[in-house]
A and B are shown apart, each in its own frame.
Chain A
């Protein structure tokens, strides 16, 4: 950076500096590691698994990624704000079950849909209230919430699954079949990921999310209502989990009381693989989209490669740890 009066050398220096600056900017973006992992997994399965690169297979990956990714979007926003939600799997199950019971009792689908989302919002608000009011670690509070709602679900249904065959415009909108074998859920996933990205990176609320997780004391000193930001985050997360649950129900036409078990950990895996820091204050929804796609590719790709499906979890675990190592390496330059 030369003095402003000397035009030529300063622009020259700026031009010479540009690649370095661009590299620095790239390193600052949380998605780099996820993008590398995405490409590695994609190319790897393309080479190894025979039918991986077919439309059918890609559509299947997208469907898995969409249902997991919807949950993971909320988990990401909340993690950036510095909190965990382990109850998303239970909320997913409870909401799907609530919707199924209401639909089976004859409630219009739209009414049942909104009621199930409202129920999830209430659970999320309760999570957030206990965490912020009691100054308790969200890990513990939502672990309790996860067990409590799973228990309620099992007790209410007596452990039996509920099947419900129905068609409606809502079902089609949520998970209808699109050309090429894709499901409508993919559109919900991409649209909501885009919306969450805009909110996160381009609105004051996004700023507040980053600040609440990055340095809550500084945020408070600057007038950010950190507790309110976190409570909104818990509600959003629960509602997104419920949406994923009902979308999945629309696809399967049935729900069992264990639905959604383990989703909380997969959502955290997708989020962290996507570059979001477990400790809050840093992350990206685009990274999470890539993380969810990686999970989808692994689940589908292993089967197509002829590996026993049991290997799926082992593989996800491996990718998670490798991704975190890469992300940290990049950040430390």
Chain B
């Protein structure tokens, strides 16, 4: 593998829980400006792999490289500091807080009044309004609570936030599984927009049809092993669905 080809390179990742191997030596890569669909049935090891990558769980064996450098994150904060942001399905935003406060949560713009850091509400309002307009979401006020937004709008804002703050790797955990077809299409549009702006994306789902339109590459896990790694053109969505359901390794196409 050529140097500098991958933004993320995980090699031989092993993770055991009480002696059971949740990940049995998984290799996983994400290229620059690449959207990778991470697929598998429930319990296949998708979440565990992502938790190892983002520092939530330490691996029992294996190496992780980010931007060519070996890394071992001890907490999600460390991963975040390097530009890895995870958007969880139902946990992307704090419902009772306003849209603008959510947008800037953890990265608030401040002015100092003496030693006291005070929120720059003008900047918060302006930027949030601009990003909402770019996404095409209309609200009465950016100070309305997030609960007035639909599920798709929330996912879109979470993605818009990652793009705005110059995140390098965006991990989306089942972003479309609770959405209508129309909303799903919109969210997929923002995933493409994110890639255009230079981000790499890991799109976790158990439904190939949710990710197929935007994915560059499809990685399929089953029982803690990688059973497929395809460029999109090399496999049909039906074949991937078959793989996820059956967990059988196709003889020729199984390895890249």
Q: A interface vs B, CB < 8 Å? A: 1, 17, 21, 24-25, 28, 198, 202-204, 206-208, 210-211, 214-215, 217-225, 281-282
Residue from B88, B119, B145 within 8 A of A207 (CB atoms): B119
- B105, closest chain A residue (CB): A222
A215 touches B116 (CB 8 A): no
B106 touches A222 (CB 8 A): yes
Contacts of B144 in A (CB 8 A): 24, 28
B178 interface residue, CB < 8 Å from A? no
Contacts of B248 in A (CB 8 A): none
Distance from A81 Cβ to chain B, minimum over Cβ atoms (Å): 12
B101 touches A210 (CB 8 A): yes
B125 interface residue, CB < 8 Å from A? no
A24 touches B88 (CB 8 A): no
A204 touches B145 (CB 8 A): no
B179 interface residue, CB < 8 Å from A? no
A203 touches B119 (CB 8 A): yes
Q: In the bound complex, how far is the Cα of B85 from the Cα of A220, in angstroms? A: 11
Q: In the bound complex, how far is the Cα of B112 from the Cα of A202, in angstroms? A: 11
A217 touches B91 (CB 8 A): yes
Given A211-B105, A224-B105, A224-B106, decide whether A218 and B93 contact each other with a Cβ distance below 8 A: yes
B108 interface residue, CB < 8 Å from A? yes
Q: In the bound complex, how far is the Cα of B80 from the Cα of A308, in angstroms? A: 61
Q: B interface vs A, CB < 8 Å? A: 76-77, 80, 86-88, 91-97, 101, 104-108, 110, 116-119, 121, 138, 140-141, 143-145
Q: In the bound complex, how far is the Cα of B80 from the Cα of A224, in angstroms? A: 11
- B140, closest chain A residue (CB): A21
B145 touches A28 (CB 8 A): yes
A21 touches B141 (CB 8 A): yes
Distance from B208 Cβ to chain A, minimum over Cβ atoms (Å): 26
B93 touches A215 (CB 8 A): yes
Residue from B87, B92, B138 within 8 A of A1 (CB atoms): B138
Q: In the bound complex, how far is the Cα of B21 from the Cα of A46, in angstroms? A: 72
Q: In the bound complex, how far is the Cα of B141 from the Cα of A21, in angstroms? A: 9
Distance from A194 Cβ to chain B, minimum over Cβ atoms (Å): 13
Residue from B96, B110, B116 within 8 A of A214 (CB atoms): B96
Contacts of B87 in A (CB 8 A): 221
Distance from B55 Cβ to chain A, minimum over Cβ atoms (Å): 12
B94 touches A281 (CB 8 A): yes
A1, A21, A218, A220 interface centre (most CB from chain B within 10 Å): A218
Question: What are 25 A-B pairs with beta-carbon distances under 8 A?
Answer: A1-B138, A25-B143, A202-B118, A202-B119, A203-B118, A204-B119, A206-B119, A210-B96, A210-B97, A210-B101, A211-B105, A215-B91, A215-B95, A218-B91, A219-B94, A220-B76, A221-B91, A222-B105, A223-B76, A223-B107, A224-B106, A225-B77, A281-B94, A281-B97, A282-B96
Q: In the bound complex, how far is the Cα of B104 from the Cα of A328, in angstroms? A: 28
Contacts of A203 in B (CB 8 A): 110, 116-119
Distance from A16 Cβ to chain B, minimum over Cβ atoms (Å): 13
B94 touches A215 (CB 8 A): yes
B97 touches A214 (CB 8 A): yes
Contacts of B86 in A (CB 8 A): 221
User: Sorted from nearest, which 10 A-B pairs have the closest CB atoms?
Assistant: A222-B106, A223-B106, A214-B94, A204-B108, A215-B94, A217-B91, A218-B91, A281-B96, A214-B96, A282-B96
Given A207-B105, A225-B77, decide whether A218 and B88 contact each other with a Cβ distance below 8 A: yes
- A17, closest chain B residue (CB): B140
Q: In the bound complex, how far is the Cα of B91 from the Cα of A223, in angstroms? A: 13
Contacts of B105 in A (CB 8 A): 207-208, 211, 218-219, 222, 224
Given A215-B91, A218-B93, decide whether A223 and B138 contact each other with a Cβ distance below 8 A: no
B86, B96, B116, B145 interface centre (most CB from chain A within 10 Å): B96
B88 touches A217 (CB 8 A): yes
Q: List 5 extra interface pairs beyond A25-B141, A210-B97, CB under 8 A.
A: A24-B144, A202-B121, A215-B93, A221-B88, A281-B97
Distance from A79 Cβ to chain B, minimum over Cβ atoms (Å): 13
Q: In the bound complex, how far is the Cα of B95 from the Cα of A1, in angstroms? A: 25
Q: In the bound complex, how far is the Cα of B77 from the Cα of A296, in angstroms? A: 45
Distance from B151 Cβ to chain A, minimum over Cβ atoms (Å): 14
A218 touches B145 (CB 8 A): no
Contacts of B77 in A (CB 8 A): 223, 225
Distance from A19 Cβ to chain B, minimum over Cβ atoms (Å): 12
Contacts of A204 in B (CB 8 A): 108, 110, 117, 119
Q: In the bound complex, how far is the Cα of B95 from the Cα of A202, in angstroms? A: 19
Distance from A227 Cβ to chain B, minimum over Cβ atoms (Å): 11
Contacts of B80 in A (CB 8 A): 223
- A1, closest chain B residue (CB): B138
Distance from B96 Cβ to chain A, minimum over Cβ atoms (Å): 5
Q: In the bound complex, how far is the Cα of B119 from the Cα of A224, in angstroms? A: 16
Distance from B25 Cβ to chain A, minimum over Cβ atoms (Å): 28
Contacts of B101 in A (CB 8 A): 207, 210
Contacts of A24 in B (CB 8 A): 140, 144
Contacts of B140 in A (CB 8 A): 17, 21, 24
Contacts of B97 in A (CB 8 A): 207, 210-211, 214, 281
- A199, closest chain B residue (CB): B116
Q: In the bound complex, how far is the Cα of B106 from the Cα of A16, in angstroms? A: 36
Distance from A250 Cβ to chain B, minimum over Cβ atoms (Å): 29
Q: In the bound complex, how far is the Cα of B140 from the Cα of A25, in angstroms? A: 10
Contacts of B121 in A (CB 8 A): 202
